[in-house]
């Protein structure tokens, strides 16, 4: 039986590929890649040349069958995406589920991931957090998604595309509240890496000061509420009421 390796690749800095990832990429017979050109460049940087199969959001079902065919034939396959960890806001989840369902070994080869990279250096505490990934792109659906998160008092990690970054940060301020601080982690592991922290409207202002600031890749971290802020107070009133109601005859 072939093994499916789920291999993380760098999110910017090419040095962030692990020794083990290199070993696995060198050893497998086939690499299933989100964009074969991007992966061909990565492989050639390490003087590797492999049989590449495209597996992206538009062909994942068909490509899954192809890859399972390789596993069936006893060939090992590395699943990679353009950047970071496959199947995390990226193609590959269907393939992983199908390989497991059919009993093939699935082995993760961990490495870069933009969410954890941002979180590890944002200084928002080491406790629970929610990884959300991409918000819906339509304003109404985005607002609804954010509203559903209002009562969750954890740091929340979002991915966002450059052309929606301003709208999303603004929508976060409007739904989760201006008192909820934000850390924007931009261009992680790259030359122009930056962490910017402030209230949602400060972040919007920072982004709008110079359109160049809106280019690049972003992780948005919404901090947990500060003690004593508005919604927390609502919560206290609610639990106080609940406690009082319990006492009523």
Q: Which residues bind ligand SAM (CB under 6 A)?
A: 11-12, 81, 83-85, 88-90, 113-115, 159-161, 185, 187-190, 217-219
For ligand SAM, give the closer residue by CB, 21 or 225: 21
Considering the complex, what minimum distance in angstroms separates the CB of residue 160 from ligand SAM? 5
Considering the complex, what minimum distance in angstroms separates the CB of residue 182 from ligand SAM? 14
Considering the complex, what minimum distance in angstroms separates the CB of residue 234 from ligand SAM? 31
Nearest to 17 by CA among 83, 72, 70: 83
Considering the complex, what minimum distance in angstroms separates the CB of residue 118 from ligand SAM? 7
Q: Cα dihedral sign for 136, 146, 84, 15?
A: positive
**CA separation for the pair 249, 238 (Å, rounded):** 19
Among all residues, whose Cβ is closest to ligand SAM? Answer: 84
Considering the complex, what minimum distance in angstroms separates the CB of residue 13 from ligand SAM? 8
Q: What secondary structure does DSSP assign to 133-151, as a single string?
A: EEPPSSHHHHHHHHHTTTT
Q: What secondary structure does DSSP assign to 189-205, as a single string?
A: TSTT-EEEEE-HHHHHH
For ligand SAM, give the closer residue by CB, 3 or 81: 81
For ligand SAM, give the closer residue by CB, 60 or 225: 60
Residue with tokens 């074969």: 36
Q: Left if phi > 0, otherwise alpha if psi is -120 to 50, otherwise beta: which for 70?
A: alpha
For ligand SAM, give the closer residue by CB, 138 or 249: 138
Tokens of 41: 């460049």
Nearest to 182 by CA among 166, 163, 161: 166
For ligand SAM, give the closer residue by CB, 62 or 192: 192
Considering the complex, what minimum distance in angstroms separates the CB of residue 231 from ligand SAM? 26
For ligand SAM, give the closer residue by CB, 104 or 159: 159
CA atoms within 13 A on the CB side of 93: 5
């Amino acid at each position: 039986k072939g093994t499916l390796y789920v291999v993380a690749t760098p999110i910017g800095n090419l040095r962030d590929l692990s020794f083990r990832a290199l070993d696995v990429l060198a050893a497998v017979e086939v690499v299933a890649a989100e964009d074969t050109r991007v992966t061909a460049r990565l492989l050639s940087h390490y003087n590797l040349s492999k049989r590449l199969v495209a597996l992206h959001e538009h062909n994942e079902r068909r490509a899954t069958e192809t890859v399972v065919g390789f596993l069936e034939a006893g060939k090992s396959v590395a699943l990679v995406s353009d950047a970071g960890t496959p199947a995390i806001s990226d193609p590959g989840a269907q393939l992983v589920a199908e390989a497991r369902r059919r009993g093939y070994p699935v082995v993760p080869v961990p490495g870069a991931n933009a969410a954890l990279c941002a979180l590890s250096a944002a200084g928002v505490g080491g406790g629970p957090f929610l990884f959300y990934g991409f918000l819906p792109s339509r304003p109404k659906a985005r607002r609804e998604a954010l509203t559903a998160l209002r009562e969750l008092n954890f740091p929340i990690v979002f991915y966002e595309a450059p052309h929606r970054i301003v709208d999303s940060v603004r929508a976060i301020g409007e739904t989760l509240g201006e008192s909820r601080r934000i850390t924007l982690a931009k261009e992680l592991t790259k030359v122009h890496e930056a962490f910017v922290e402030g209230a949602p409207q400060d972040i919007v202002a920072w982004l709008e000061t110079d359109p160049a600031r809106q280019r690049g890749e972003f992780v948005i971290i919404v901090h947990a509420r500060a003690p004593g802020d508005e919604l927390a107070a609502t919560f206290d009133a609610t639990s106080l009421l609940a406690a009082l109601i319990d006492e009523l005859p």
